Amino acid sequence: MIHGARYTEAPRVRGRDLRILAGLLPFLREYRGRVLLALASLALAKLANVGVPLVLKEIIDALDTERATALILPLGLLLGYGALRLSSAMFNELRDSVFARVRYRVMRRISIRVLEHLHALSLRFHLERNTGAISRDIERGTRSVSTLLNYLVFNILPTLFEFILVSAILFGKYPAGFAGAVLVTVGVYVTFTLLITEWRMHYRLRMNSLDSHANSQAIDGLINYETVKYFGNDRFEVSRYDGSLSEWEDAAVKSQTSMSLLNFGQGAIIALGVTVVMVMAGQGVVAGALSLGDLVLVNTMMLQLFMPLGFLGVVYRQIKHTLVDMGQMFDLLERTPEVRDAPDAGELRLAHAPEVRFDRVSFAYQPERPILREVDFAIAPGTKVAVVGPSGAGKSTLARLLFRFYEVGSGAIRVDGRDIAGVTQESLRRAIGIVPQDTVLFNDTIFYNIAYARPEASREEVEQAARLAHIHDFIAGLPQGYDTLVGERGLKLSGGEKQRVAIARVILKNPPILVFDEATSSLDSRSEKAIQTSLAEVAENHTTLVIAHRLSTIVDADTILVMDQGRVVERGTHAGLLAADGIYARLWALQQAESREPRLPPTAAVPEPAER
């Protein structure tokens, strides 16, 4: 089992099934009037349905020449028979039409709730998630909501109501043996169905686990298409996918075989029950205690009852399957966000560039591996602070903590004097704009990706942001201009082009706090110098945190922090740090030496990919 073993605990499954059913009730209350009307239509349809064999009995008895002195066409009974048939069909369709709005609204509400909850979950969850498996769980879960409501309203409740009516008629009109035979047959049928279905459920659970696992493998391989091609692992990816599907196939065959056993057992029980009741009715007719109409009535009622009951076995299995599918979706809903707003959290409202202070902040992704150790510094209003240091020093973690993707282990981060743990996440993130090192774009147009920072922005504002980011001329030169699709994760653009789109996006947002996390790392030297000027203009009158690898991009910073092993080990201006002749000075000398190294001759140079 990959991740389905937890479902084998029957008490836990039953408890969760009840929680799932209870969780649907709030969604149904919104349209309780429609629900009641649908249930009323259901009851009327079943009353008409049960009335059909009663009228049929009277028709047959009226036409039984051996019991009547004169043969008279029972026209009224025949018209009543047709009216009941029509009423049954009409109320069934009315029930379906009335309940359609309820069913699809519940699907919509739950889908929205799941997406909202996924967005509310913390960064740690999204870094560890398996996108393919989650998308399949959500797809199956939302589809199962509709299936469950369909079965409850269109199969289970009608069958239960009809069973009560048939039992009442048999108890009222015939010897107790008839109703007793029906009750015993139904009891044995339900017990057999429950026991066998519970036994074979683990096959379905394994199918779901393997289905999600195989789907995630396929999506992961497609998302990393270029990596697959780089290493020529097409066959490896297909083989890996086929391995999971092979296990899924075995589980699916066992599931189908056990279902055939279940279907045969159900058919045998129904056949035996109907035979016993018909023998009893036939004996009653022979003995003169029952009329021919009674025989037809009992037979028709048994057929009307056992036909949906025969389907009820399938319905029960499907409901169990849908509850499993919904359970995986509800597991997502039950995950608690790691970072949550405090009950009394207020809005962070900034009318100017604020001070940002890291007050003795310590943090670790895992307790045994500290990342930051009592980091303490402040960014004065409207100034720029740069952070440099080797990989793994904790530089990018500063930005994640500032955005409150994680809670600090100890200490505090303050914006304009307020601890960010005491303000809403939405207002905090509204006040911060970031140009990340790895820019991921939506599979939409360039215009959409720039305007994403402020969806209500006009086209002129978007184009002005693109000009400041030095990408407007490139976009205007494309055949479709701003309506050019960028592809999955922006793969149709080069790294530098994606970086400039990200810069344009943050320019359009225009927040009081800016974070540049290796913002020019994907640019060539000429583009970098052009954009450095734009970034300097954008950073004016903003509080700016720059995380940099190239020291040449942060020489104008008001303060430069040098981090190593989670601590700030040096701080000062560019000139002051060079004079101190410490870590920063050594990094500067190393990068200057690298920039002066002669280029390889053209014959030995590795060709760069063409600009896309």
Residue 306 makes CB contacts below 8 A (sequence gap 6+) with 185, 270, 273, 274
347-431+511-599 CATH: 3.40.50.300
Q: What are phi and psi of 453, to 5 degrees?
A: -65, -30
| Spatial distance between the Cα atoms of 535 and 539, rounded to a whole number of angstroms | 6
Q: Supply the pLDDT for residue 358.
A: 95
Provide the pLDDT confidence category of residue 537 given band limits of 50, 70 and 90.
confident
Strand order in the sheet with 369-379: 369-379, 356-366, 410-415, 418-419
Chain position carrying tokens 């409740």: 157
Residue 463 neighbours by CB under 8 Å, 6+ apart:
472, 482
Q: State in words which class domain 5-9+17-333 has.
A: mainly alpha
Q: What does the pLDDT read at residue 609?
A: 38
Instruction: Note the pLDDT of residue 16.
Output: 65
Q: DSSP characters for 455-500?
A: TT--HHHHHHHHHHTT-HHHHHTSTTGGG-B--GGGTTS-HHHHHH
Q: Which two tokens stand for residue 215?
A: 């789907």
Residue pair 57/296 in contact (Cβ under 8 Å)? The answer is: yes
Q: What are 338's two structure tokens?
A: 């790691």
**603 — pLDDT class (breaks 50, 70, 90):** very low
> pLDDT-based confidence at 569, cuts 50/70/90?
very high
Kindly report, residue by residue over 155-203, the tens digit of the pLDDT.
Answer: 778 878 878 888 888 787 888 888 888 888 888 888 888 788 778 777 7
387-396: average pLDDT:
84
Does the pLDDT of residue 269 top 60, yes or no?
yes
Res. 365: pLDDT tops 50: yes
SS3 (DSSP) at 293? helix
Residue 497 confidence (pLDDT): 84
Tokens of 348: 């962070």
> What pLDDT score does 601 carry?
45
**Spatial CA neighbour of 506 closest among 457, 433, 610, 570:** 433
- Tell me the average pLDDT across 50-66: 74
Does the pTM exceed 0.75?
A: no
Query: Which parts of 334-431 fold into alpha helices (H)?
Result: 395-402, 425-430
- Determine the Cα–Cα distance for residues 54 and 162; give it in Å rounded to an integer: 14
| 415-473 pLDDT per residue, tens | 998 999 999 989 999 999 988 877 888 888 999 999 998 999 999 999 999 988 888 98
CA distances to 435, 473, 486, 495, 498 from 482, rounded to whole Å, are: 20, 11, 10, 18, 14
Distance CA 41, CA 313 (A): 24
Which helix (H) or strand (E) is 360 found in, with range? strand 356-366
Query: 47 burial class (0-12, 13-18, 19+ CB within 10 angstroms)?
Result: middle
Half-sphere exposure of residue 316: CA atoms within 13 angstroms, side-chain side: 24
Confidence of residue 600 (pLDDT cuts 50, 70, 90): very low
Given a contact cutoff of 8 angstroms between Cβ atoms, the answer to whether 131 and 216 are in contact is yes
Main-chain phi, psi angles of 478, to 5 degrees: -75, 150
Residues contacting residue 5 through CB under 8 Å, at least 6 positions apart:
none
- State the burial class of residue 298 (Cβ atoms within 10 Å of its Cβ: 0-12, 13-18, 19+): buried
Q: How far apart are CA 374 and CA 567, in angstroms?
A: 7
Measure the CA–CA gap between 290 and 94, rounded to whole angstroms.
37
Structure confidence at residue 612 (pLDDT)? 35
CA distance linking residue 466 with residue 475, whole number of Å: 9
Where in the chain are the domains?
Answer: 5-9+17-333, 347-431+511-599, 445-508
Confidence band, pLDDT 50/70/90 cuts, at residue 374: very high
pLDDT of residue 499: 83
Residue 154 DSSP class: I
pLDDT at 360 > cutoff 60: yes
Answer whether residue 27 shows pLDDT above 50: yes
